[in-house]
């Protein structure tokens, strides 16, 4: 059964700029946290100040954890009053006591650093030679961390993130984050289903071109790395670019991996968006349960396609 729904979609392109760092490794440890049996924690955030006087060019990232880490999203943000959250662990909802942590705001004023595959306990995000995420001077790292313990005994979950940086002279491309999310999924009970949505970059790109902020009237960036995100009922995800010339679809990322596996990887060679103005996201599921499953955390499902590009635009594209 194939089900197509109109959906709310969020498409984001984020970028940054800076100068020269040294090549080095930077390891940050968080937790460990104890999670009671049969519980989840969706209100856990972590933060660390980098104390970097120079920009950092992050070429690869290693994440190490333990069973119980359902997912984590990592961003860099400016080290200023707007993101003055406590060092180490804190409540995402309480934030610094005056305002909560908001991923979208962090993405606008900072940038995406790393997105963990669902329930992966070890993962590496690595770009092609010369490609890197730029973290400007005086930045912090902040992440929301989702813990789930479906077992009968308490568990302890440590978390470690290592950034591997390169020098500015080695950098040939700066990475920016792009994401599509289908919030309108509704998996029918005891059926296989597929949910499809498209994001048209044309309206916003035309605005940028009219203002002289991009040199091409249509998207001309390349996609270097992609990642799927769904939960236990997900059976696959595909991201496609829609040709301007004839409306045909060319897939640039597809996976049928299940949770616990790495769901991301390099595009070799990078996919060139020249000649394409739309991106299509398809998520497939097999709902073996007796009720309709909608967007949600541990007991719900998600449909997210994430990618890194060399787009120079720090702007948000959205449609419904």
Predicted confidence at residue 315, as pLDDT, reads 37
Compute φ and ψ for 37, nearest 5 degrees. Answer: -65, 140
- Average pLDDT for the chain: 87
pLDDT category at 6 given cuts 50, 70, 90 is very low
207 φ, ψ to 5°?
-60, -45
Do 75 and 103 form a contact (C-beta atoms < 8 A)? yes
Beta-carbon-side half-sphere exposure of residue 316 (alpha carbons within 13 Å): 12
Prediction pTM value: 0.83
Could you read off the pLDDT of 141-200 as tens digits, one per residue?
A: 999 999 999 899 999 999 999 999 999 999 999 998 888 999 999 999 999 999 999 999
Distance CA 49, CA 87 (A): 7
Could you tell me the residue ranges of all domains in the chain? Answer: 9-15+174-319, 24-166
Q: pLDDT digits over 215-236, tens only?
A: 788 888 999 999 998 988 999 9
Counting residues of the chain whose pLDDT is more than 90, the rounded percentage is 69
pLDDT at position 16 is: 37
Q: Which residue has the tokens 């994001």?
A: 199
User: Which residue(s) pair with 134 in the sheet?
Assistant: 57
The two tokens of residue 37 are 């049996």
Tell me, what's the pLDDT at 104? 86
Within this chain, domains 9-15+174-319 and 24-166 share the same CATH topology = yes
What's phi and psi for 172, nearest 5 deg? Answer: -115, -15
**Measuring CA to CA, which residue among 174, 202, 157, 217 is closest to residue 30?**
157
Poorest-pLDDT segment among 11-15, 95-99, 216-220, 294-298: 11-15
* pLDDT number for residue 5: 35
13, pLDDT greater than 90: no
Read off the pLDDT of residues 89-98 as tens digits, 9 standing for 90 and up: 999 999 988 8
- Res. 22 pLDDT band, cuts 50 70 90: low
Q: How confident is the model at residue 245 (pLDDT cuts 50, 70, 90)?
A: very high
Is residue 208 pLDDT above 50, yes or no? yes
CATH of domain 24-166: 2.60.120.230
CATH 2.60.120.230 fits 9-15+174-319, yes or no: yes
Confidence of residue 56 (pLDDT cuts 50, 70, 90): very high
Q: Name the band, by pLDDT with cuts 50, 70 and 90, for residue 11.
A: very low
- Name the pLDDT band for 313 (thresholds 50, 70, 90): low
Higher-pLDDT residue of 62 and 259 is: 62
Other residues' Cβ atoms within 10 Å of the Cβ of residue 120: 20
DSSP result, 161-202: EEEEEE-GGG--EE-EEEEEE-TT-EEPTTEEEEEEEEEE-H
């Amino acid at each position: 059964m194939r089900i197509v729904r109109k959906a709310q979609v969020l498409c984001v392109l984020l970028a940054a700029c800076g100068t020269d760092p040294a090549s080095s490794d930077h390891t940050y440890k968080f937790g460990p946290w104890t999670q009671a049996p049969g519980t989840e924690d969706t209100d856990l955030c972590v933060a660390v100040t980098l104390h970097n006087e120079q920009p950092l060019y992050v070429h690869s990232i290693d994440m190490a954890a333990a069973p119980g880490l359902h997912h984590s999203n990592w961003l860099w943000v400016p080290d200023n009053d707007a993101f003055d959250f406590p060092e180490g662990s804190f409540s995402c909802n309480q934030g610094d006591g005056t305002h909560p942590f908001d991923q979208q705001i962090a993405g606008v004023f900072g940038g995406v650093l790393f997105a963990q595959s669902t329930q992966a306990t070890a993962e590496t995000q690595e770009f092609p030679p010369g490609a890197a995420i730029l973290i400007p001077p005086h930045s912090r790292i902040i992440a929301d961390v989702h813990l789930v313990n479906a077992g009968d005994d308490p568990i302890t979950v440590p978390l470690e993130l290592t950034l591997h940086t390169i020098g500015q002279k080695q950098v040939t491309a700066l990475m920016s984050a792009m994401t599509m999310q289908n919030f309108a999924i509704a998996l029918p009970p005891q059926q296989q289903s597929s949910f499809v949505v498209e994001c048209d970059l044309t309206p916003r790109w035309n605005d940028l071109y009219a203002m002289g902020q991009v040199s091409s009237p249509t998207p001309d960036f390349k996609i270097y790395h992609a990642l799927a995100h769904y939960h236990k009922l997900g059976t696959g995800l595909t991201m496609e670019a829609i040709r301007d010339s004839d409306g045909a679809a060319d897939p640039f990322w597809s996976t049928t991996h299940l949770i616990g596996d790495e769901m991301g990887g390099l595009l070799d060679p990078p996919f060139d968006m020249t000649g394409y103005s739309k991106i299509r996201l398809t998520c497939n599921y097999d709902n073996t349960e007796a009720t309709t499953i909608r967007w949600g955390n541990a007991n719900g499902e998600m449909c997210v396609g994430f990618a890194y590009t060399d787009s120079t635009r720090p702007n948000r594209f959205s449609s419904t």
